[in-house]
Amino acid sequence: MSRVAFLGPPGTFTEEAMLTQPDLAAAELVELRSMPDVLAATQDGEVDLGFVALENSIEGTVNVSLDSLVFEHDVLIQREVVLGISLNLMAPSGVRLSDVKRVVSFGPATAQCRGWLAHNLPSAQLVAANSTAEAAQVVGEGGVPEAAAVGNALAAKLYGLEILAGDIEDHPENSTRFVLVAADGIPPPTGHDKTSIVCFQAADRPGSLHAILGQFTARDINLTKLESRPTKKGLGDYCFIIDLDGHVDDEPVADCLRDLHVALPRLKFLGSYPAAGDHGPTRRRDAEQAWRTADDWIASLRRKMDRPKMDGD
């Protein structure tokens, strides 16, 4: 049975997302206390897989995950999972909304419910927890008097709370993106894949990012995310984290990565993996066919070449 590490405690959105995946739900789950710990355990082989939040998360400082992935660890993304975020106000049985004097939660979660809280609990005190799950646990154990927690339904169930109000987040359309990582290995292409890379730029000069993006535009490759980030050497040095549609097994993507590898001082590959979500008919076959026709043409040209008889050229 495979071992999968995640950021505990149980009852976080991370666990909720992980349990949407049948194979992960059936695995041995290993709770760790930080996202970098999850990546480190995965890279070092202590677990087979790691599961972390990457984007727009309510669940901890996602920058920490991203920076760990980009600068500190060498793991490869195996899959992405996107979860719609629903926040609830949850309290022990019998507690009514008018009883609530304190709201316990992880800062980003309470921040996302700021409008609802200002309207419904304008005078409640905000008490910090290290995660939404910890908030539910603390409230469930009675650690904070006259309190409710902000968290997900999974945590309410785990820690014996009832939902006083559901969907209290200010932006109900919010989603969080998680990734499953492994120490090595790339899943085979499915026809609707993403590839994630980090481009370290040669210098902070006008046009260098434009030149990088020209590589994608020239090949009609769609980008789904782009972010410049300081390289931890102060605010002036940047790299670019890029998600693109396609798989390294696709020839246009491979061509593009090859040329970027030539042009850039450093290019880090974070993985090619199935994209989350429902998908229309794949464009991949057509693009591959066009590439192969072009490759045959190049090969036919090269056969016209009078290669020198003797030397290795």
C-beta of 162 vs 174, nearer to its own copies:
174
CA-CA distance, 163 to 10, in Å (whole number)? 18
C-beta of 94 vs 234, nearer to its own copies:
234
Q: DSSP letter for 71, please.
A: I
- Least Cβ distance, residue 93 to its own copies (angstroms): 25
Amino acid at 63: N
Q: DSSP letter for 290, please.
A: H
| 214, 221 Cβ separation under 8 angstroms | no
C-beta of 152 vs 271, nearer to its own copies:
271
Side-chain-side CA neighbours of residue 173 (13 Å): 0
| 51, 24 Cβ separation under 8 angstroms | yes
CA-CA distance, 58 to 108, in Å (whole number)? 5
- Least Cβ distance, residue 125 to its own copies (angstroms): 10
- Least Cβ distance, residue 129 to its own copies (angstroms): 5
C-beta of 96 vs 303, nearer to its own copies:
303
- Least Cβ distance, residue 205 to its own copies (angstroms): 7
CA-CA distance, 224 to 228, in Å (whole number)? 14
C-beta of 21 vs 61, nearer to its own copies:
61
Take residue 217 and report the two structure tokens written for it. 């535009």
C-beta of 95 vs 209, nearer to its own copies:
209
- Least Cβ distance, residue 28 to its own copies (angstroms): 21
- Least Cβ distance, residue 94 to its own copies (angstroms): 26
Take residue 167 and report the two structure tokens written for it. 């969907």
Q: Which residue shows structure tokens 């006008």?
A: 206
Take residue 310 and report the two structure tokens written for it. 């003797």
